[in-house]
Structure 1
């Protein structure tokens, strides 16, 4: 099994045709019917008669499972599935808002308004309070600031991680409320 990197897609490469080095395989025909355990030569002959490829689907099984298929069509379908999955995947970005322990109420309201705009776009907000110098002795003030900030957003947001200290910063994560 190999990994092939094609643009942004990672495709699991299967061993096909002459790359297969096992004496016998459990063969699956092109229509999905189980043929049974056959020698590798017989499986290769059947694939050649059908003008298709023999691909080793499960090399670690006892005996290994091989399938007769159009390998290029299989790879094309795999790439298409990955592209569709990537298109449907939801990306969430995290934006940070910084506060200080001695911030005024009006400034908290303005920063909360900006955070509300971010949360309405279904993104997360990291709110951090930075302590400088002697402010480190008053960590309770930082927690109060974070609590006031969250009260402003409690109607549209929920806390995803509680306030915690990280060096000189206390931070918490806020995410949109789930329905």
Structure 2
């Protein structure tokens, strides 16, 4: 059961939800697990929720009577945050190469890149130049362009071969759906 010490700060964070004593309705329709769904006076609904060691959360204030659910509010907020993070999470997976990586190793790394792209992650191929190998930047660029060519059906190039100190890299993202392409073209025109 949630005890709110600073109600004002709590309301700013979770203003969409009224819980326990914040609910102003005189009668509520109580729903939840192990609870018979029917209309109760607010005081009785609060007692039922407290007896089950749960919070009374206002789900639909516009309904007549107001719909409230008995649930663990902290767990509910945790799951909401978890879903929000999952939705917005796009990872960038890095695959390291050398300017002299052989064809078998390259094909293995390309297959891994395909897996990452199917999972909607971005892929960053990077080549580190050690010692005198910095002289052969052109070989590194050829290797990165070869990666682009091998993955051309799966990818959209975000960053073309670029040097950053002793490191050359490219960033690739998965191709968007045909529907998304057509809408982006319409917006441009």
Name the TM-score, length of structure 2 as normaliser: 0.51
Distance 1:3 1:152 in 2: 54
- Specify whether residues 4 and 130 from structure 1 end up closer, same or farther in structure 2 by C-alpha distance, changes over 3 A only: farther
String of CA shifts for 1:26-50, please: whole Å, max 9, x gaps.
Answer: xxxx9xxxxxxxxxxxxxxxxxxxx
Which whole-Å deviations, capped at 9, do the CAs of 1:120-166 have from their partners, x for residues lacking one? Answer: 11111111011111111121111110000111111111112222111
Inter-partner Cα distance in structure 2 for 1:4 and 1:127: 45
**Number of equivalences:** 118
CA displacement at 1:116 relative to structure 2: 0.6
Distance across 2 between alignment mates of 1:167 and 1:143: 14
| Structure 1 match to 2:146 | 148
Name the residue aligned to 2:123.
125
2:83 to 87, 102, 109: 87
- Structure 2 vs 1, CA of residues 170 and 4 (structure 1 numbering), >3 Å: closer, same or farther? farther
1:83-122 correspondence runs (5 A)? 84=80, 87-88=83-84, 89-122=87-120
Structure 2: any 5+ residue segments left out of the alignment?
Answer: 1-7, 16-23, 25-56, 60-67, 69-73, 178-189
Question: Aligned equivalents of 1:115 and 1:167: distance in 2?
Answer: 24
The whole-number CA distance in structure 2 between the counterparts of 1:165 and 1:140 is 11
The answer on whether the counterparts of 1:126 and 1:171 sit within 8 Å (CA) in structure 2 is yes
Give the TM-score taking structure 1 as reference length. Answer: 0.54
Query: Is the Cα contact below 8 Å between 1:109 and 1:149 reproduced in 2?
Result: no
SS in 1 for 2:100: coil
Tell which structure's C-alpha radius of gyration is larger: 1
Partner of 1:176: 174
Change (3 A) 1:3 1:152: farther
User: CA, structure 1 residues 168+4, in 2 after alignment: closer, same or farther (shift >3 Å)?
Assistant: farther
Choose 86-95 or 105-114, whichever is displaced more.
Answer: 86-95
Tell me, in whole angstroms, the C-alpha distance in 1 between the residues paired with 2:82 and 2:105.
40
